[in-house]
Amino acid sequence: MFLEKERTHKIRTRYDRISRYYDFMESPLEKLLFSQWRRRVFDVLDGDNILEVGVGTGKNFDFYPVGKSITGIDFSKGMLRRARRKAQSQGVKADLVDMDVQDLQYDDQSFDTIVATFVFCSVLDPIKGLEEIRRVCKKGGKAVLLEHVKPATTLLGRIFDLLNPICVKLIGANVNRDTVSNVKRAGLNVLEEKNLFRDVVKFVVAKP
C-alpha cells in the first residue's frame, strides 16, 4: 500500500512537471492526428452525465457537447491548473476535480458515459482504474477510450518493451500496455474495438 502510494505520487509529480510543456510537445501530432480521433470519441457520447477521467490540460474541451453535465478529474494539480485556465478562456462549463481514477469519489452508477483519452498508459494500476470506471458507470451506460497500446507483432512489441522505460521517464506514459485486455480484466464488456493507427492506437467502447 505504501509502495503503491509512493509510485502513484511519482507519476503525479512527473505529470505536474511536464504539464508546462505538454500542449506544446504534442501540438504537431495533435493537429495531424489526435484531434480527429478525439472527435470520434465525442461523437458516440450518450446521456446527460459525462465523466472524463485524466482530463489533463483539457485538450478535449473543443469537443465537449453543450448542455450536458460534464465532470473532469485528474490527479495532477499542474495539468488541472491548465485545464481550468483553458475552460475559462474557452467558456467551457465543466466541474474539474482533483481525484485519482483508482479511487473515484462517486457513487455507483453515477455517469452515463465515461471518457478517457490516452490515460490508461500512465495509471499505476490500470485494472483498478478501469474497475472504478465500471463501478461509477450506469447500467446501460458506456466507457469510451482512446489509447495507445503495445503492437501485436513480436518484433515491434519487443521494440516497444525496450523503449518503455525511456518513454515513462520522458513523457510519463507506458507504451507497452495491453489496455484492451485490461478493460476486459476489469469486468467491462468490449462492444467495439477499432484500430486507428495500425494496431497501436485503439478506439474502444465498452459497457459494464
Find out whether 145 and 179 touch, Cβ atoms under 8 Å.
yes
Specify the residue, 158 or 194, whose C-beta has the smaller distance to ligand SAM: 194
Interface size with ligand SAM, residues (CB under 6 A): 20
Residue with cell 474502444: 204
Tell me the CB-side half-sphere exposure of residue 176, using CA atoms within 13 A. 16
3-state secondary structure of 151: coil
79 binds ligand SAM (CB under 6 A): yes
In the range 142-161, which residues lie near ligand SAM by CB under 6 A? none
d(CA 123, CA 181): 15
Residues 56-75 that bind ligand SAM (CB under 6 A): 56, 59, 74-75
Q: How far apart are CA 68 and CA 13, in angstroms?
A: 32
CB of 20 to ligand SAM, least distance (A): 13
> Taking the complex as a whole, how short is the minimal distance between the CB of residue 155 and ligand SAM, in angstroms?
26
- Contacts to ligand SAM from residues 100-119, by CB under 6 A: 100-102, 117-119
Closest to ligand SAM by CB, 42 vs 141, is 42
DSSP type of residue 108: T
DSSP state letters, 138-171 = EEEEEEEEEEE---SSHHHHHHHHHHHHHHHHHH
Closest CA to 51 of 149, 177, 135, 173: 135
Q: Which stretch binds ligand SAM (CB under 6 A): 41-49, 55-63, 149-157, 162-170?
A: 55-63
Is the CB of 75 or the CB of 154 nearer to ligand SAM?
75
Residue the block writes with cell 471518457:
115
CA atoms of 199 and 151, how far apart (whole Å): 6
Our CB check for ligand SAM shows the closer of 75 and 203 to be: 75
Measured between its terminal Cα atoms, the distance across the chain in Å is 27
Residues 45, 114, 123, 136: which binds ligand SAM (CB under 6 A)? 123
Position 130 contacts ligand SAM (CB under 6 A): no
What's the rounded Cα separation, in Å, for the pair 129 and 145? Answer: 13
Residue closer to ligand SAM by CB (options 27, 195) is 27
Q: Does 179 bind ligand SAM (CB under 6 A)?
A: no
- Contact footprint for ligand SAM (CB under 6 A): 11, 15, 54-56, 59, 74-76, 79, 100-102, 117-119, 122-123, 129, 173
